[in-house]
Amino acid sequence: MMKGETPREPLEGWKLTEKVFDARYARKYESIFCQGNGYMGVRAATEETYPSTRRGTLIAGTFDRIEEKHSTELPVSADVMAVDITLDGAALSQSSFESYERVLNLQNGLLTRRFLWRSANACLSATFERFVSLKDRHVLGQRITLHMLEGSGTINIETGISGSNRPGIVHFQNAETLVDGTVLQYAETTVESGIDFVTSAIISAHVLGVDTHKLTALSRVLEGEGVMNAYSVTLRANETLVVEKLARIATTRDNDFDAPPEGHSFRYALMDRECVLMTSLWATGFNEALAASIRQWARIWETRDVQITEATGFDQLALRFAVYHLTIMAPLHDSRMNIAAKGLTGPGYLGHTFWDTETYILPYFVWCDPKGARSLLHNRYLFMDAAHRKAQENGYEGAMYPWQTAWLSDTDTSVNPRMSACEHHITADVAYGVQYYYQVTGDLDFMLRFGCEILFETAKFWCSRLQYSTQNKRYELLHIMGPDEYHISDNNAYTNYLAYWNLRCATEWAKELCAHYPKDYAVLCQRLGVDAQVSVWEERAAALYLPQVNQAGILPQDDTFLSLPQIDLAPYKQGTRSIRADYDKSALLKLQVAKQADVAALFLLLEDLFPMDVKKRNIYYYEEHCVHESSLSLCTYSLLASDIDEQDSAYAFYQKACRIDLGNKMDSSDEGIHAASLGGIWQCVVLGFIGVRARNDMLCICPKLPARWKRVTTRIFWQGQPLTISAEQTGFCVKALEGDTLPKLLTPSGLHEAPGVSYRETY
């Protein structure tokens, strides 16, 4: 802490608080307070259910589809957080709450709800705590503490594993329950994909007070609907009822499940294993299971926390919220899986993956968790077969990545055929992610084993996708959709430039391998025919049409956008009215209105291709014509505003982006949080305000802090080396850790070849 700064209470900057419960807004809180660990996501649906509640525990990569006409989606698995509680016969509900508060502690992942609950003869304080373990991905826990403050009352609790009350399509069949000693188990199988899910739990209930004792459960098995323990007790003043539940969720798709010998049932093998693991988890106890998770969160924050010193505390909280969700959304334990557009926090986009991963989320992992980034990119490598098939099905060559993906074998999971048929930029975005990863990490092993193949196969795709215009004597990309999903047109600048970049990047890598890694190159040449392709890539890239700025200095988004009529967007820019309320898809197609950053997204990815004055003029122009209907847009404009030294705008866009999930639009996150935007928020701070970049094999740092910020400190990995950067209004400091020396640095004052252990620059 600097002299003159006011000390803060320890949890300030870490606590997300709900002060008043209003069931109408339950879904938003269920999403933003969601807990998880990349394997599972547990929406923060309250123990009691309201008509607006959308309960949901989602397990990464367990897709299912019940009918041809539906798209594959993540099924909602059995629920261990739903509990029925009554006090003197009255069920717990919103009307029982007094002095309500619910807090998600981002520092340790614990969700706590407290309130006072009165009946005619009793007043008790109720505390509900839950966690999803970051240490053991199968584990979750819930503790209910009811302390009688005045009078006495009878409490009835039914708690266990519930298979009923699940929203949406029912994806399970053959439900089965089991009570084995203290272990409750519920098993079921997804309809099409045949994945067995096994949920296990052990519950205890104790009365603490003068007469401390354990309650005996009347076990009730509800076939098909779940398995519950029921407890009943009359609590007197100063007595406390504590109900603890530890649970495990596992599936036969898990990469830590060993298939049993042939002829044995997968389900029973898993149930047996889980019964044993559940018993030993219980033996370690609730407190230790929670403590192990908290220790793991502490490890995460040690390297991932970005500390912002500014007066309101909001910017800090919003960034930690982003990092919290980036941590729980990523299934890094299994490279067969990728990050969904809503993480594991809700049903939106059915749990599918988009370009959001490479363009908005991957940079966070590349700079903070290179191993995690590698797993995400390896996932794209595993998609290669499907990408080849997709190319073939569409008459192209090489690897064509599907716009929206779930299973590794899917060539199309899109619910919207318009996007999947035309939004081809995803293929270049994946390639871009590969090269971005390499530039920051220097992971040559990845490139030689997987990365180059992705670059080569995507380059082949673009060659086959380009059309030669004899009239214009150039290659073009016709009938294509860029990031702006309102328009399908010819020569979308974003896509043309990214395709060009993809061809060039593949060419450079082929030459690099040929010159320096001839053995690896020979293998790839033999398998993929790279040598015969290189000259084609070069020729196509040279003849590919790259839209140029017009006389007014504007880079056309596509061949028609700039000639379309303009309308006043003011009513839609305030965020209170959606443009969709007044214009349908076909009307939007004919207007000069962009759904989201498009040319701006091009400047984000290929920032060095365009001079500053071009970027400036175009950023203003296109922002004016953009309604930011996609959550990917505001963070893009914040990053670009930082790039063109417009700090006030950069900060204003950053704040707006933070409010997509954390603002007072109470239905904004009903279907889940906005994963890409959260990755974008992290980028706004570290790449935008601190100005971190990889440029020509050099680490570049050029901070441009918002005027309200005093200081920001972060940890990054550069070529595998951890570094700490601390930036202030008047300068910055970079430090190597663990006795290392700093790499070559490029800063506003120039190039520093050997800056030593720590480097400080003052302006």
Name the residues annotated as catalytic.
485
Residue with tokens 């030593």: 756
Binding part of the chain for ligand BGC, among 330-338, 352-360, 385-393, 618-626 by CB under 6 A, reads: 352-360
Number of residues binding to ligand BGC, judged by CB under 6 A: 12
> 321-350 mask for ligand BGC (x: CB under 6 A)?
--------------------x-------x-
Residue 541 and residue 496: Cα distance in Å, rounded? 10
CA distances from 202 to 142, 165, 196, 207, 354 (A): 11, 21, 20, 17, 38
Both structure tokens of 84: 């029925």
Binning the chain into helix, strand and coil, the percentages to the nearest 5 are 35, 25, 40
Q: Which of residues 583-612 bind ligand BGC (CB under 6 A)?
A: 595-596
- Answer yes or no whether residue 354 interacts with ligand BGC by CB under 6 A: yes
Residue with tokens 């299912």: 64
Q: Which of residues 658-687 bind ligand BGC (CB under 6 A)?
A: 676
CB neighbour list of residue 238: distance below 8 Å, 6 or more residues apart? 147, 148, 209, 210
452-465 and 518-528 are packed helices; what angle lies between their axes, rounded to 10 degrees?
40
For ligand BGC, the closer of residues 109 and 482 by Cβ is 482
Residue with tokens 């998600």: 104
For ligand BGC, the closer of residues 335 and 405 by Cβ is 405
For ligand BGC, the closer of residues 596 and 669 by Cβ is 596
Find the radius of gyration of the CA atoms of the chain. Answer: 27
Closest distance of CB 585 from ligand BGC, Å: 13
Binding part of the chain for ligand BGC, among 56-64, 144-152, 354-362, 462-470 by CB under 6 A, reads: 354-362
For ligand BGC, the closer of residues 197 and 349 by Cβ is 349
Closest distance of CB 385 from ligand BGC, Å: 23
Closest distance of CB 630 from ligand BGC, Å: 4
- Answer yes or no whether residue 413 interacts with ligand BGC by CB under 6 A: no
For ligand BGC, the closer of residues 380 and 704 by Cβ is 380
Closest distance of CB 53 from ligand BGC, Å: 24
- β-pairing, 698-701 vs 745-747, is parallel
Q: Which of residues 469-528 bind ligand BGC (CB under 6 A)?
A: 483, 485
Binding part of the chain for ligand BGC, among 169-177, 351-359, 486-494, 711-719 by CB under 6 A, reads: 351-359
Both structure tokens of 507: 């060419």
Closest distance of CB 423 from ligand BGC, Å: 8
Residue 243 and residue 436: Cα distance in Å, rounded? 49
Kindly state the DSSP code that residue 474 receives in the 8-state scheme.
E
Say if residues 101 and 115 touch (Cβ distance below 8 Å).
yes
Closest distance of CB 457 from ligand BGC, Å: 22
- β-pairing, 110-118 vs 122-132, is antiparallel
For ligand BGC, the closer of residues 321 and 349 by Cβ is 349
- 50 burial (CB, 10 Å; 0-12 / 13-18 / 19+) is middle
Say if residues 155 and 241 touch (Cβ distance below 8 Å).
yes
Both structure tokens of 362: 């991957």
Closest distance of CB 712 from ligand BGC, Å: 27
For ligand BGC, the closer of residues 281 and 632 by Cβ is 632
Say if residues 405 and 383 touch (Cβ distance below 8 Å).
yes
Closest distance of CB 340 from ligand BGC, Å: 9
- Answer yes or no whether residue 139 interacts with ligand BGC by CB under 6 A: no
For ligand BGC, the closer of residues 351 and 688 by Cβ is 351
CA contacts within 13 A on the Cβ side of 66 = 11
Q: Which of residues 620-649 bind ligand BGC (CB under 6 A)?
A: 630, 632
Q: Which residues bind to ligand BGC, rule: CB under 6 A?
A: 341, 349, 354-356, 483, 485, 595-596, 630, 632, 676
